[in-house]
Structure 1
Amino acid sequence: MTVSDLEITYRGTVYPWHCDHMGHMNVMWYVGKFDEATWQLFATIGLTPAHLRERQRGMVAVDQRISYRREVHAGDVVVVRSGVMSTGTTSLRFCHVMEDAVSGEVCAVTAVTGVHIDTVARQAVPLPAEHLAAARERLTAFDPGL
């Protein structure tokens, strides 16, 4: 399994205000772009914001690991590819790979564990069967090395 086998969940440009005093994209923007990719991935399995709001449900990140592989600068165009690594009764473990859209070089990778919660009770609840099934259809053997 290679990076190119993963689904594209984000495309965007690095703007000057994304960069820090060292001239490269600040870590908060990597996380932000990965977060946008997360919501695109969730939408493909039916966990849209509207669906979650209507049912008083949410997804919370309980673990996230990031490896920065190369600097990204203002003007660079990036692509994020995503896949589901594993599913549990109440959780999903998924990964994102950020690439330079021109060179294809990997800029950063992240692995995230998200838990499905009842937003009123503030506790984990099982993912609906249809969402688990959709997530399992997107299972990947890709290993981000984290």
Structure 2
Amino acid sequence: MADIDTGRRVVAASECDTLGHANIASYIAYVSDAGFTLMNHVGLGRDNILAGRRMGLAVVDMQAQYKAELLPGDCIYLRTGVLAVGTKSVTCRHRIYRAQAGGDQLVFEGRFIKVLMDLEARRATAIPEDIKDRLEACRVSDDS
């Protein structure tokens, strides 16, 4: 199995702080968007959130490793893989890479535990089998 492409963008100057690099909030915004891409990929997209099953993944824990700074104009892309699927939760790995000549560079890696939320009851709920199967299709090993 393999991780999936969950985003591509250029780092905007407005996403950078007075130190001249992308600030922490920007990295989190990038992976937040990647999380919505993953939800869409597994059948929990916008139609589901607004009217369908009314379920969505919510982050309950995260660990982040910043490996290199991002600068205005950097072209980046995100890859997301699933490390584990539980009864109500999924552990995802989001990675951000800088695309560059001579080889891309891993600049951020985050591990996120997310629970499937029933958006009406506002509480965690069991992951349906069809969603679980789609999440399993995105499984990666922890060392890949």
TM-score > 0.5, shorter chain as reference: yes
Match of 1:113 in 2: 113
C-alpha separation in 2, matches of 1:143 and 1:94: 13
* TM-score normalised according to structure 2 size: 0.91
RMSD: 1.6
Match of 2:88 in 1: 90
The Cα shift of 1:15 comes to 0.8
C-alpha separation in 1, matches of 2:133 and 2:32: 22
| 2:123 maps to 1:123 | yes
The Cα shift of 1:91 comes to 1.0
Match of 1:99 in 2: 97
Find the residue that maps to 1:43 and give its secondary structure.
helix
* TM-score normalised according to structure 1 size: 0.90
Find the residue that maps to 2:96 and give its secondary structure.
strand
Give the number of aligned pairs.
141
Q: Which runs of 5+ in 1 are unaligned?
A: none
The Cα shift of 1:30 comes to 0.3
Match of 2:66 in 1: 68
Instruction: Say if 2:49 and 2:56, in contact at 8 Å, map to a contact too.
Output: yes
The Cα shift of 1:58 comes to 2.7
C-alpha separation in 2, matches of 1:124 and 1:45: 17
| 2:55 maps to 1:48 | no
Q: Which amino acid aligns with 1:59?
A: L
Q: Which amino acid aligns with 2:78?
A: V
Percentage of identical aligned residues: 26
C-alpha separation in 2, matches of 1:56 and 1:82: 23
